[in-house]
Structure 1
């Protein structure tokens, strides 16, 4: 009877992902590592072939490849990223699950039309590797520096930064100068760097964004089950709040309340101010302290987020129609 119970419990966790490359026995408290992530990318490429393209968009500070995965053939695009922060590696799994769902579901893939979706699931592989306790995978001369940035502790569970101690989501030229009260030197969290755009990982995603010029952007973070959409949106506030409300309805997450005193320097802050287009920070998983959410929460979070790409595609096409109408009135 005990063996039957154990098998049934495992099946419960596996049911949302039958036959998928990313299927996991989610009842176990595992980690999603950079190495697993790489293997999953190439398994997907082998299985789905022409439906997706795998690009190297740059390299981390310690030389780990940063991947961009393009799904679809359309010239217009949406960009979805994950894992700006090392301890938020569960967002890489979320974005990878989105990739697989987008290519596996024929109806969903075919409805993309003249749009492609670019996915950058793990922007901070160095930070992920450190947070998961694999400091031995770094050069010997760097290990002492990493430990020093971690305040001498051998427990790296709270690590947010990249391998050089820079917080990637405090690196963008949108309110960077105004950031105060942050760490004054390289650290496991909250150090904004000596200047914006100095981190190689940030340079990579900014370069990709400038190249593809997406209509919409989403950055996945954890945790809190909340959606942030507002940063100097100005005349576009109503437009962006409307899309954010639809994402909140789809996921069941709270809609973040605008803070008039908010200071930015995050990716979506930069995207909004640079392109005057909508961008959303989606915080998945129930709130946890300064660590990674347990992998056992993933099945429920995926059910909440599985329709996000469909909402984004609908809204991107709607934005395009509004733009066309505005041109017709001129």
Structure 2
């Protein structure tokens, strides 16, 4: 069945309304905010499950990959519904997963950037003239990846940040690849890092597009189980588990470097970003299986 949320107008307001609806329908889902964006918008999160193992998923770090927010929200609704009904969830027991894991989801890390991609640049935007300049005078923002200040949030984390900045060679704010003036200079990245430290997650997964690949390593700091978990997720989705080198300063990189625990970047789908809204239904079948498998990887903690 087609998902009505998979349209070309899925911005911060739509997301916030869906989070409110989710918590109304399923009172066991708890919602909040990890902080605010560059323009002061809340960055919502919600929590499902009550197990000791702490998983975290996030999406829409890159603005033109907003379809990942649609996928995560649909996953959350299906997971909550399966638990409420006491049924199976992609071949697994939702009740067992809830008992084993607590899952925190941040479905849209970059709400300002997503709105820019979705609605374009409006005359009242506080960075109107800057954004035009950073976008080379173009009013077309469909391929914009950065936040509202022209910083690529997935190049913001303190894991060999300086090397990534040199590799990217972006001199200033731009549609993509500018690492910022310093690590965690952007409120969105700083909020996610602080949220991660505070919740002390056992494992994290950042959902991006595109390529149908799973990246699971970082400079040899990943634990032994990361390879096995990535292989399990890859089998579930029909994706490839890839040993990645030559990339730094991403959220997954920082998490592995900081904690030595399993961290993953998943590149959903195939094509050119932004993936078309109508691709959501096809993408969801693979991604839901992959995310359910990720939860099932969690060991029972004594």
TM-score (norm 1): 0.83
Partner of 1:74: 51
The answer (yes or no) to whether the contact 1:225–1:287 under 8 Å persists in 2 is no
Contact 1:133 1:157 in 2 (8 A): no
- Distance (whole Å) between structure 1 residues aligned to residue 131 and residue 52 of structure 2: 42
Of 69, 72, 85, 1:95 maps to: 72
Match of 1:308 in 2: 290
* Structure of greater Rg: 1
Residue 24 of structure 2 is aligned to residue 46 of structure 1? yes
State yes or no: 1:164 paired with 2:142: no
Q: Which secondary structure does the structure 2 equivalent of 1:132 belong to?
A: helix
Change over 3 Å in CA distance of 1:208–1:149 after alignment to 2: same
Asked if 1:258 is matched to 2:233, the reply is no
CA shift for structure 1 position 309 = 3.5
Call closer, same or farther: CA 1:269–1:134 in 2, change over 3 Å: same
> Structure 2: any 5+ residue segments left out of the alignment?
88-92
- Determine if contact 1:216/1:312 at 8 Å carries over to the other structure: no
Q: Which residue of 2 aligns with 1:247?
A: 233
Summarize the alignment of residues 147-158 of structure 1 with structure 2, pairs less than 5 Å apart. Answer: 147-158=132-143
| RCO comparison, higher one (Cα < 8 Å, 6+) | 2
Counterpart of 1:36? 14
Measure the CA separation in 1 of the matches of 2:158 and 2:298.
Answer: 25
In structure 2, the CA distance between the partners of 1:121 and 1:141, relative to structure 1 (3 Å rule), is closer
* Cα distance change, pair 59–25 in 1 and its aligned pair in 2 (3 A): closer
- Please tell me whether residue 278 in structure 1 is matched to residue 262 in structure 2: yes
Tell me, in whole angstroms, the C-alpha distance in 2 between the residues paired with 1:175 and 1:98.
Answer: 33
Moved over 3 A (4+): 138-141
Secondary structure at the counterpart of residue 61 of structure 2: coil
State the superposition RMSD in angstroms: 1.8
For 1:113 and 1:131, how far apart are their aligned partners in 2? 38
- Mapped to 2, the partners of 1:72 and 1:294 lie a distance apart of 32
Shift of 1:156: 0.6
Q: Aligned residue for 2:90?
A: none
Q: What residue in structure 2 maps to residue 24 of structure 1?
A: 4
Q: Distance in 2 between matches of 1:194 and 1:188?
A: 16
Please name the residue that 1:196 is paired with.
183
- Once residues 177 and 142 of structure 1 are traced to their aligned partners in structure 2, the CA distance between those partners, rounded to angstroms, is 26
Give, in whole Å, the separation in 2 of the partners of 1:235 and 1:76. Answer: 18
Deviation at 1:208?
1.0
The yes-or-no answer on 1:119 pairing with 2:96 is no
The Cα of 1:307 is off from its aligned counterpart by 2.5
In structure 2, distance between residues paired with 1:25 and 1:273? 36
Question: What is the alpha-carbon distance in structure 1 between the residues aligned to residue 263 and residue 133 of structure 2?
Answer: 35
User: What secondary structure sits across from 1:178 in the alignment?
Assistant: helix
Between the aligned partners of 2:277 and 2:265, the Cα distance in structure 1 is: 20
Instruction: From the superposition, tell whether residues 141 and 304 of structure 1 become closer, same or farther in structure 2 (CA, over 3 Å).
Output: closer
Residue 81 of structure 1 contacts residue 122 of structure 1 at CA under 8 Å; is this kept in 2?
A: yes
CA contact (8 A) 2:8 2:118 kept: no
Tell me how many residue pairs correspond in the alignment: 291
Instruction: Give the CA deviation at 1:315.
Output: 1.7
Offset, 1:114: 4.3
SS of corresponding position for 2:162: coil
How far residue 287 of structure 1 moved from its aligned partner, in angstroms, is 2.3
Decide which moves more: 299-308 or 160-169: 299-308
After superposition, the C-alpha distances for 1:262-293 in whole angstroms (9 at most, x for unaligned) are 231000000011110111100111121xx310
Partner Cα separation in structure 2 for residue 33 and residue 141 of structure 1:
18
Of residues 197, 202, 205 in structure 2, which corresponds to 1:218?
Answer: 205
